[in-house]
Amino acid sequence: MALGLAAAAAFAMSACGGGGAGGKGGDGVNPGLPGGPGTPPSSLQGAWWGPFEIGPDRGDTRMLFLPGGDYWALYGGDTVSGFVIEGFVQGSGVSADGEFSSVNARDFFGILPGAPGRLEANYTSQSVIGVADFTDWTMAFSGAPIPATTYDFGRPADLADIVGAWPMQTTVDGIPVELTIQPDGSFSGIDSRNNVGPKCQFTGNATPRAGVNVFDVTIVFGSACTLPNQAISGIGLTSTIEGTAIREFLVAGVSGARSYGAALFGTR
């Protein structure tokens, strides 16, 4: 762990801008944790963003560390039209003395089965630096709190923020889908391409999670989808793009056995 985190720290120093990880600035209080910048809270929680590196490939992350130890680390890239998810690391872990450890991390990329590994991180109330190790690759990452003006982790999730139509894209096969969310959180989606033949359709539900600005999400894919008749469950989060009124919606979920996963992302 020490060598991996040392490499992650070196990466973070090279990748960070003046205002925080990835140059994004860490002037929010999203972790909702006591202590100064160098003080490790009792547990790693909150919403974070920053850079990641897998070999020569670099990009951006959106990371949620939830009460109880579950985490979702979405990785991809920031664009002018929103955050593009390429994959995600999911699992659960424990915190102690500024260190977070997870032995059941899984990396979900495209249609590939989830790859098992482990995730280790050091954290304070204003920074997180870590590595996720898998058999054939290592992902180094660092993060700062997402400013509460963009995404307020401590505010209760509100269905009104996501009700309506969303043009989305999936990470499983990259197809565009039209997602429609009802006032009660139920939703349906359909492949929005003008192709001939059966279209992927799916249904699901988004329920505000108690205590944090996160939705518990379930999705059941139809028979014409890349994951035919499969069900996944996970999280959804919505935020505004920094400095704009544009809202994005990010969703990620895994199958019951955590064999497969999928994510959707879009803006409006």
Least confident of 30-44, 116-130, 247-261: 30-44
- Report, as an integer, the average pLDDT of 17-38: 40
Burial of 16 (0-12, 13-18, 19+ CB in 10 A): buried
pLDDT at 27: 37
Residue 120 pLDDT greater than 80, yes or no: yes
Q: How many CA atoms lie within 13 A of 71 on its CB side?
A: 33
Q: Lowest-confidence range among 20-29, 39-48, 69-78? A: 20-29
Which sign does the torsion angle of CA 37, 151, 130, 215 carry? positive
Instruction: Give CA 57 to chain center in angstroms.
Output: 18
**pTM listed for this prediction:** 0.87
Q: Residue 243: pLDDT band by 50, 70, 90 thresholds?
A: confident
Q: What is the mean pLDDT of the chain?
A: 88
pLDDT beyond 90 at 197: no
Q: Comparing 152-156, 191-195, 202-206, 209-213, which segment has the lowest mean pLDDT? A: 191-195
Residue 35 in this model has a pLDDT that exceeds 70: no
Instruction: Name the least confident of 7-11, 47-51, 85-89.
Output: 7-11
153-178 mean pLDDT: 94
* pLDDT of residue 18 exceeding 50: no
> What's the CA angle centered on 211, arms 205 and 215, to 5 degrees?
20
Burial of residue 173 (number of CB atoms within 10 Å: 0-12, 13-18, 19+): middle
Q: With the C-alpha atoms ordered 142, 144, 150, 152, is the resulting torsion angle positive or negative?
A: positive
